[in-house]
Amino acid sequence: MKVDFCIIGGGIAGLSIASELARHADVLVLEREADPAFHTTGRSAALYSELTAQSTALALSRLSRPFLLKPPAGFCDHPLHNIIGCIFTASDDEAGHIQTLAAKLECAEVLDIDQMLARVPVLRTGEQHITSGLLEKEAFRIDVGALVQAYRRQIRRNGATLRCGAEVMGLMREKEAWWVALADGDSVSARRIVNAAGAWGDVIATRANVAALGLSPLRRTMIVFDGPPALDCSQWPAVGSITGAYYFLPEAGRLMGSSADEVASPPCDAQPEEYDIALAAHNIESATTLEIRQIRHKWAGLRTFAPDRQVVAGYAGDSPGFFWFVGQGGFGIQTAPAAARAAALLAMEEPLPPAYEHAGVTAATLSPQRFTTL
């Protein structure tokens, strides 16, 4: 089989860039697992928040926001978003962060204790605890399942192929093309490779004899537990510490939360560990009057960061036709539409739209070569 672009990875990164590229070129997506979005994409908190993002991630979030709020006609049948808002809490010592963050976002509203308790009655307030908060009114949940399905449909419609159960074992540059060897003995010839393998980004590079970027997969553990018996928590906003010690949000009649942990991990099928589960419960209980008696559900996923914690999209300097699209970190869902558009244009060696350049998203800020020219 011969294609223009062979995309390695069927998470949000691979699917979103495939849907963009497939309008213009022959595209094949190779995913090792039996289903796409099995790893990090299927394990996220699915929240859109601008207050937690910085630099390129913030710019790409803002550029993605209109798409997520109102997807293009025919992209999906249902809304992809549900506005819930997000409260960032601070103790007296952390109050300075509230003012700094409030200045970052026009629609952010500083809340006093009564205003916070009116929205989330279980917050532990007062001296040594929560004394102030900031509400990001427009934060929203993203329907990741629907977004993934919509990208899959778009890929099919545009004539591209998603092949699951297809693990890439080796890559070799031969004349003007790449030869891609699969675990089942099959092979593919591609003019260009897109490395969208998430936590395995450096593994794929090494298999292709391309210099690794130094990606860091960091494990985060999520727990699901019951809300307080006498209260309906389904309409609560997301709540998180401004310094990142915990967060929780409503999830299908219960609450879902985390200690916002970042534990270094090799690329793998991440599993929740007892200590991280206990830490998530402890940090949430310390910040609230909630009593977490039973963990109803738990999982872990790898958030993978480049050395500067910003996404990477661009051709490798040391190997023609090898395109990096990795390092989405904790923002790969909320940045997906704009990041995929930018990455696809760069992969086709076309300029980015002026709106991207104005927002500070340029070929140079996205390029993997920013790590080699320092």
Ligand X SMILES: Cc1cc2nc3c(=O)[nH]c(=O)nc-3n(C[C@H](O)[C@H](O)[C@H](O)COP(=O)(O)OP(=O)(O)OC[C@H]3O[C@@H](n4cnc5c(N)ncnc54)[C@H](O)[C@@H]3O)c2cc1C
What the block records as the tokens of 309 is 């914690």
| Residue 144 Cβ vs ligand X, minimum distance, rounded to whole Å | 8
Helices and strands per DSSP (H, E), number in the chain: 10, 20
CA distance linking residue 141 with residue 120, whole number of Å: 17
CA distance linking residue 314 with residue 342, whole number of Å: 10
| Residue 299 Cβ vs ligand X, minimum distance, rounded to whole Å | 8
Alpha helical stretches, state H, the chain: 12-21, 55-69, 95-104, 113-119, 144-157, 201-207, 274-287, 336-347, 354-358, 363-366
In the complex with ligand X, the residue whose CB is nearer, 108 or 343, is 343
Helix (H) or strand (E) holding 4: strand 2-8
252 Cβ neighbours under 8 A, 6+ residues apart: none
What the block records as the tokens of 149 is 């399905």
In the complex with ligand X, the residue whose CB is nearer, 43 or 81, is 43
Q: Counting Cβ atoms within 10 Å, is residue 176 exposed (0-12), middle (13-18) or buried (19+)?
A: exposed
Residue 10 near residue 333 (C-beta atoms within 8 A): no
In the complex with ligand X, the residue whose CB is nearer, 58 or 290, is 58
Binding flags for ligand X, 41-80, as an x/- string (CB under 6 A)? x-xxxxx---------------------------------
In the complex with ligand X, the residue whose CB is nearer, 283 or 328, is 328
| Residue 90 Cβ vs ligand X, minimum distance, rounded to whole Å | 20
| Residue 57 Cβ vs ligand X, minimum distance, rounded to whole Å | 9
Q: Does 81 bind ligand X (CB under 6 A)?
A: no
Kindly determine how many residues on this chain lie close enough to bind ligand X according to the rule CB under 6 A.
40
CA distance linking residue 108 with residue 236, whole number of Å: 17
| Residue 348 Cβ vs ligand X, minimum distance, rounded to whole Å | 20
Binding flags for ligand X, 277-306, as an x/- string (CB under 6 A)? ------------------------x-x---
DSSP of 252-268:
TTEEEEE----EE--SS
The SS3 call for residue 19 is helix
Amino acid in the structure at residue 290: L
Print burial letters for 208-221: b (CB count within 10 Å at least 16), e (below 16): bebeebebbbbbbb
| Residue 221 Cβ vs ligand X, minimum distance, rounded to whole Å | 7
Q: Does 217 bind ligand X (CB under 6 A)?
A: no
Half-sphere exposure of 333 (CA within 13 A, CB side): 25
In the complex with ligand X, the residue whose CB is nearer, 18 or 125, is 18
| Residue 112 Cβ vs ligand X, minimum distance, rounded to whole Å | 27
In the complex with ligand X, the residue whose CB is nearer, 91 or 312, is 312
CA distance linking residue 239 with residue 334, whole number of Å: 18
Chain residues 306-345 in contact with ligand X, contact rule CB under 6 A:
328-334
CA distance linking residue 122 with residue 145, whole number of Å: 30
Q: Does 85 bind ligand X (CB under 6 A)?
A: no
In the complex with ligand X, the residue whose CB is nearer, 91 or 247, is 247
In the complex with ligand X, the residue whose CB is nearer, 169 or 231, is 169
Q: Does 265 bind ligand X (CB under 6 A)?
A: no
Q: Does 86 bind ligand X (CB under 6 A)?
A: no
| Residue 292 Cβ vs ligand X, minimum distance, rounded to whole Å | 18
Q: Does 250 bind ligand X (CB under 6 A)?
A: no
Chain residues 142-171 in contact with ligand X, contact rule CB under 6 A:
167-168
Residue 20 near residue 205 (C-beta atoms within 8 A): no
In the complex with ligand X, the residue whose CB is nearer, 192 or 303, is 303
Task: Write out the residues near ligand X by the rule CB under 6 A.
Answer: 8-14, 30-33, 37-41, 43-47, 167-168, 196-200, 204, 220, 222, 301, 303, 328-334
